[in-house]
Amino acid sequence: MIDIQSMNRQEIADIIDENKNEPSEELLRAAVKVRNEHYGNKVFVRGLIEFTNYCKNGCYYCGIRAENGNVNRYRLTEEEILSCADEGHRLGFNTYVLQGGEDTFFTDKKICDIVYKIKSKYPACAITLSIGEKSRESYEAFKDAGADRYLLRHETADNAHYRKLHPEYMSLENRKNCLYTLRELGFQVGAGFMVGSPYQTSENLADDLLFLKDLQPHMVGIGPFIPHSDTPFAKEEGGTLPLTLTMLALTRLMLPKVLLPSTTALGTIDPKGREKGFDAGANVVMPNLSPVGVRADYTLYDNKICTGDEAAQCIMCLKERIERSGYEMDMGRGDSLVD
Ligand code: SAH
């Protein structure tokens, strides 16, 4: 029995080391069992709308960082965002994730208007925002406008490691505070981190799990770090499939009721990555609903997949793929069972 919930930092780091080159059958089986106890074999789908790739921040790992002059920058208009939601509704989606860089063009008022309009048109849907660090007042306004969920990966729970990944004007303390505030305000909250980001140690990953244990988020986004050629980390190594699967499985054991996406990044480093993610305890996928013309410009990392089964338009292919691997696709709101 892997009793991760009662382990200390060193014990967790040891388990990570033991499984980093290949997650053990015992670990994967335990994660799947726990996931099945709470969610069965359902895989929940969310429509991802990447509505702006402008960003004021300079995270060293991210392809859309402010300093990258090679990005073809775009912003969707309110009408375009609403038609993505219409398209999603037509395809059967009941939840939309609006993600973007930290783009000051989108004032709180603009975001609230968009959320309010989607919610008024599709009252049964759940809306997730993923637009970075904001003030408590902004988060409150988004909630009042109808936003249900908020994704904000903490990226790393260790301060020294955080400093190696971000410019000095950003702070881990602020990011963590944002997460606790969002939780307090009643959002379903998603935290998360990259696996194999530069300078990351097994102890850092153990700290990520301990931070999640404390925060008790409703969702956790975990994917491998993948270098982007126009960033300071262009020459760094990427995160591996086995270590990512190990971290998914350990997160499932740490937070049995959490919603755990099998991420696009995982699907990018291995053609069967997402299926392998399900077999490590994941139970969410987020196909791309952004307009086809802008998809290639939301390049957080090199070779990001955005067509084929990754496209929301190919929802039937995705359904088949999910079913072929022994799961059942669920297009409902898919609320988290975490309180
Ligand atoms: N601006 C929003 C959304 C960020 S993009 C925010 O601050 O939350 C969503 C996620 O992509 C990030 O949180 C990060 O974990 C991930 N990401 C960025 N660059 C990446 C890379 N090179 N490889 C893998 N994941 C990356």
User: Rounded distance, CA 330 to CA 326, Å?
Assistant: 13
The Å distance, Cα 59 to ligand 1 centre, comes to 9
Residues 63-78 have pLDDT tens digits of 999 999 999 999 999 9
What DSSP character marks residue 240?
P
**Dihedral angle, C-alpha 204, 22, 338, 159, nearest 10 °:** 10
- State the pLDDT confidence band at 292, using cuts at 50, 70 and 90: confident
The Å distance, Cα 194 to ligand 1 centre, comes to 8
CB 54 within 8 A of CB 73: yes
pLDDT at 307 over 90: no
**Nearby residues of 329 by Cβ (< 8 Å), 6 or more positions away:** 42, 43, 45, 318, 319, 322, 323
Residues 207-263 have pLDDT tens digits of 999 999 999 999 999 999 999 999 999 999 999 999 999 999 999 999 999 999 999
Kindly give the number of the ligand 1 atom that is closest to the alpha carbon of 131: 2
Counting ligand 1 atoms within 8 A of each CB, the residue from 290, 301, 303, 304 with the most, and so the one to mutate, is: 301
| DSSP assignment of 114-145 | HHHHHHHH-TT-EEEEE-----HHHHHHHHHH
Question: Structure pTM?
Answer: 0.97
The Å distance, Cα 309 to ligand 1 centre, comes to 21
User: Rounded distance, CA 31 to CA 206, Å?
Assistant: 17
Instruction: Name the residue at shortest CA distance from atom 25 of ligand 1.
Output: 225
User: Rounded distance, CA 263 to CA 242, Å?
Assistant: 14
Q: What angle do CA 150, 335, 29 make, to 5 degrees?
A: 105
Kindly give the number of the ligand 1 atom that is closest to the alpha carbon of 231: 22
Alpha helices, H only, the chain:
9-19, 25-39, 78-91, 108-121, 136-145, 159-165, 172-184, 202-215, 241-254, 264-269, 273-278, 292-295, 315-324
Does residue 321 line the site of ligand 1, with CB under 6 A?
no
